[in-house]
Amino acid sequence: MPTKDIVVIGASAGGVEALQRLCAGLPADFPAAIFIAQHLSPSARSLLPQLIGRAGPLPAISPMDGDIIEAGRIYIAAPDLHMLLRPGNILMRRGPQENRTRPAVNALFRSAAIAYGGRVIGVVLTGLLDDGTEGLIAIKAAGGLSMVQDPADAQWPSMPQNALKRDHVDHCVALDGLAALLGTLVREEAGASVPLPKDYLVEDRMAARDFAIMEPNVVTPGQPSHISCPDCGGVLNEIELEGELRFRCQVGHAFTPLGLAAAQNEELERALSIAARTHRDRIRLFVQMRESAHARGLPHAEGRWAEASRESEQMIQVLERAMSSLRKSQTDGEA
């Protein structure tokens, strides 16, 4: 009988240190393959495989598309690529972002649940917002196990905390205890695998695209909402699976509710910043016109330009207060 030999791990803020500590505690004879999705800058070269490989006894690599899965290895998603699992091998694809991230934890977890069902153990570590929660739900629905780092032990508790709120997690453990628990669980017999609903398979296929483009033979799951996609402006579909709501557009960009709210905050802040900058440019114009009116002895025109400057200064103050409020609401949502 197969064992629980597929371990998928997701992390974001604070994840590099947490992953090093976790992998340092794994035994050299670890009989499972480990796959890690850590949120990374899309343009930077990642040193994470070297850091993880030096931290513990298991070799760590960033896989190539089509690589064969081997037990006792750690596979780490490269920047700006989703890492997806298929029976026996790995896909590295530049599919549409999920919660504005690539690699995305949910994309990795979902693919593992589809390909390996009851053989999968999903682990969510420190990080912001809720990437990984939907993936853990898919793993549980497919017959696998779910684990999170104890939020009280996490540098950034939001990711494990949001997973716990969904009331589906099998183990909540401090980081120093995770390696030992994994060492025990991966030697246990796998549970029965449960086929997932078709919508999961469609979303996995969308993540496996090489480019974020629409395909005529792929219908986005869910029903159209009245909300537009922050990434491309298209209509977002509402998808409800296992009692959880998320959003995906026709191009494939995907969002959890928290991720969508964060993306909308970013768009609003960008728009407000542009408006504030435009008002500052207007003030420079108004000052120049006021000085010109003064030099020509036109007091009424001078007063009109001075009043326009004051109005723009007041608008800048209003915009800056709005931006401060947005930043606070974003911080509260990540806590």
Q: Which two tokens stand for residue 108?
A: 């990795």
Check 39, 82, 253, 279 and give the catalytic one.
Answer: 39
The answer to whether the beta carbons of residues 103 and 309 sit under 8 Å apart is no
Asked whether the predicted pLDDT for residue 211 surpasses 80, the reply is no
- Determine the Cα–Cα distance for residues 100 and 89; give it in Å rounded to an integer: 26
Length of the chain: 335
Q: What are the domain boundaries of the chain?
A: 6-185, 210-252, 258-334
Residues 6 or more apart whose CB falls under 8 angstroms from that of 21 comprise 55, 175, 176
User: What residue type is assigned to position 32 of the chain?
Assistant: A
Place of tokens 């207007």: 282
Instruction: Give me the half-sphere count of Cα atoms (radius 13 Å) on the Cβ side of residue 202.
Output: 20
Mean pLDDT value across residues 15-38: 97
Instruction: Locate all alpha helices (DSSP H) within the chain, ordered by sequence.
Output: 15-24, 48-55, 105-116, 133-141, 158-165, 175-185, 198-207, 257-295, 299-334
Q: Which CATH fold would you assign to the domain 6-185?
A: Rossmann fold (3.40.50)
Q: Is the pLDDT of residue 178 over 90?
A: yes
Which of 101, 87, 89, 119 has its CA nearest to residue 37? 101
Find the mean pLDDT for residues 182-195.
Answer: 96
Known catalytic residue at 12:
yes
Instruction: Tell me whether residue 273 is one of the annotated catalytic residues.
Output: no
pTM, two decimals, is: 0.86
In degrees rounded to 5, what are phi and psi of residue 48? -60, -40
Q: Residue 298 contacts by C-beta under 8 Å, 6 or more apart in sequence?
A: none
Query: What is the predicted pLDDT for the residue at 327?
Result: 75
Predicted pLDDT at 331: 61
Structural contact between residues 241 and 196, judged by C-beta atoms closer than 8 angstroms: no
Structure tokens at 148: 């999170």
In this predicted model, what pLDDT tens digit does every residue of 112-134 receive, in sequence order? 999 999 999 999 999 999 999 99
Give CA–CA dist 15/157, Å, rounded: 11
Q: Write down the catalytic residue from 5, 130, 131, 204.
A: 131
Single out the catalytic residue among 5, 12, 153, 231.
Answer: 12
Secondary structure letter of residue 32 according to DSSP? S
Q: For residues 335 and 195, which has the higher predicted lDDT (pLDDT)? A: 195
Residue 216's Cβ-side half-sphere holds a number of Cα atoms within 13 Å equal to 0
Q: Tell me, what DSSP letter sits at residue 254?
A: E
Specify the DSSP element, H or E, that contains 149: strand 145-149
Tell me the Ramachandran region of residue 303: left when phi exceeds 0, alpha when psi lies from -120 to 50, beta otherwise: alpha
Do the bridges between strand 120-124 and strand 89-93 make them parallel or antiparallel, or are there none, so unpaired? unpaired
Position 219 confidence tier, pLDDT thresholds 50, 70, 90: confident
pLDDT band at 1 (very low <50, low <70, confident <90, very high): confident
Q: What are the tens digits of pLDDT across the range 52-65?
A: 999 999 999 999 99
- Active site annotation includes 131: yes
C-alpha to C-alpha distance for 58 and 52, rounded to whole angstroms: 8
